[in-house]
Amino acid sequence: MRRVLLLHGLGNNSSIWSGLAGHWRQDVRIHAPDLPWHGGGIPQWRHETDSARLVGEAIDDVPGGADLIVAHSFTSVVLLELLSRRAAAGDPLDLPGVVLVNPFYRASADDFHWDMIAPTLRSFPETLAESLRLRSLDRPIDPALREDMARRLTEWIGPYGWLRFFDTYLRTPLFQVALVRTPCLVIGGALDASAPASDALALAGRMPAAEALILPDSGHFPMLERPGWFADTVHAFLDRTPEPIGPGAGI
């Protein structure tokens, strides 16, 4: 049995993965916790300044250890921070593989400029609205109501929550990603209006054991837009990672 840990992004929760339920193989056991920055947990988390530590706790909570970690959006960056931090300290995480989905990443501080702040801020509620749309395809929500729901969720996350995200993004040039030897698949979407596909390409290009996969017809939520493809891609990457050897193997 292979154990896969699924980590949702900011303002979402574990249900973001629910559309994949019928696509997983029987030899895969899924762990999908609600992270501290899920929609209902924002008030307790918004002043947290070390989200990487919290991701580490989620990894430690997987019984027998994770064979693969799939992290989306904001959380993919937090996981990248944890991987880089541990590698730089000479204590790398013992992980067979990771999948970073629609990550935010810039290789140089000079890649950030003042004029990008307003568009990044403006795209935030638009991305939340797109998540709501994709999750309600069976029972469509009126567009005006959907926009109102996204705006209210944005207000719930608030300036502190958004700044936690943007501060993490701004620090990505400081992550020593070249030291991370964990096999990594970086997935980006050419139609992603919030996390540019160029970020995924730049990140994969700087990690020694990473490869990029850019979907030409996908946005920020490939697990919702193309669930069958997404599960197949995770299975294929999982099959290329080594089987664990030790007391927890096969449990």
Segment 192-208, tens digit of pLDDT: 999 999 999 999 999 99
Integer Cα distance of 80 and 239 in angstroms: 22
Instruction: Report how many helices (DSSP H) and strands (DSSP E) the chain contains, helices first.
Output: 8, 6
* CATH classification at residue 97: 3.40.50.1820
The least confident of 25-29, 50-54, 73-77, 150-154 is: 150-154
In a domain, 249, yes or no: no
Model confidence at 160: pLDDT above 50: yes
In a domain, 250, yes or no: no
- Closest listed residue to residue 172, CA positions, set 74, 113, 105, 72: 105
**Higher model confidence: residue 209 or residue 248?**
209
Model confidence at 248: pLDDT above 90: no
pLDDT digits (tens, 9 = 90+) for 77-129: 999 999 999 999 999 999 999 999 999 999 999 999 999 999 999 999 999 99
- The pLDDT assigned to 244 comes to 61
Model confidence at 21: pLDDT above 80: yes
In a domain, 248, yes or no: no
In a domain, 174, yes or no: yes
Integer Cα distance of 93 and 200 in angstroms: 21
In a domain, 134, yes or no: yes
Domain count, the chain: 1
DSSP 244: P
The least confident of 115-119, 175-179, 185-189, 246-250 is: 246-250
pTM of the model: 0.94
**Sheet of strand 184-189: strand arrangement:** 28-31, 2-7, 68-72, 98-101, 184-189, 210-215
Domain range for 44 is 2-239
In a domain, 44, yes or no: yes
In a domain, 140, yes or no: yes
Model confidence at 39: pLDDT above 90: no
Task: Return mean pLDDT, the chain.
Answer: 94
**Amino acid code (one letter) for 46:** R
In a domain, 16, yes or no: yes
